[in-house]
Structure 1
């Protein structure tokens, strides 16, 4: 099961992989830097799905549901490589 803490870590990691500061990501996504900081640390123990989607998009990522236990296929990996995605 994915927890809010896992999502907060994911957000922080994709921001860093994109080479963005909290401020730069916030500006790209149209949210405040405080929102980014709160979401990365769960300071308010809650997370706005709308803000999460905007932040991930601004960092160059998409949110995609994956069935539990799903293992990526060779086709998935090749498609990611063609798009330049990171696993």
Structure 2
């Protein structure tokens, strides 16, 4: 992850992988659907880590930092294999 655009793309991906529409994710996170939409489209320039964490956690994910050049761990590979493919 190198930019805010990457974070927005990841948020949208985890929401879709969790089979959630923006409305449901927003309800679970306790934020307005418009906030989720702005986070996913980068319209919200002041997105902070706490603001981002609510939807990420509501989608069932944790945000973790990984050093550049770090390869996937066995845990990462197994988790990726368990994720269902979905286009919401």
Q: TM-score when scaled to structure 2?
A: 0.81
Deviations 1:47-69 (A, max 9, x none): 12112111111111101110011
Q: Aligned residue pairs: how many?
A: 80
**CA distance in 2: counterparts of 1:52 and 1:86, whole angstroms:** 22
Q: TM-score when scaled to structure 1?
A: 0.82
What are the ranges of 5 or more consecutive residues in structure 2 without an aligned counterpart? 82-88
**CA distance in 1: counterparts of 2:21 and 2:46, whole angstroms:** 21
RMSD (Å), alpha carbons:
1.6
User: Partner of 2:64 in structure 1?
Assistant: 64
Displacement of 1:45: 2.5
What are the ranges of 5 or more consecutive residues in structure 1 without an aligned counterpart? none
Displacement of 1:12: 0.4
**CA distance in 2: counterparts of 1:22 and 1:51, whole angstroms:** 15
Q: Secondary structure at the match of 1:7?
A: helix
**CA distance in 1: counterparts of 2:59 and 2:38, whole angstroms:** 17
**CA distance in 2: counterparts of 1:8 and 1:68, whole angstroms:** 19
| Rg larger for | 1
User: Partner of 2:85 in structure 1?
Assistant: none
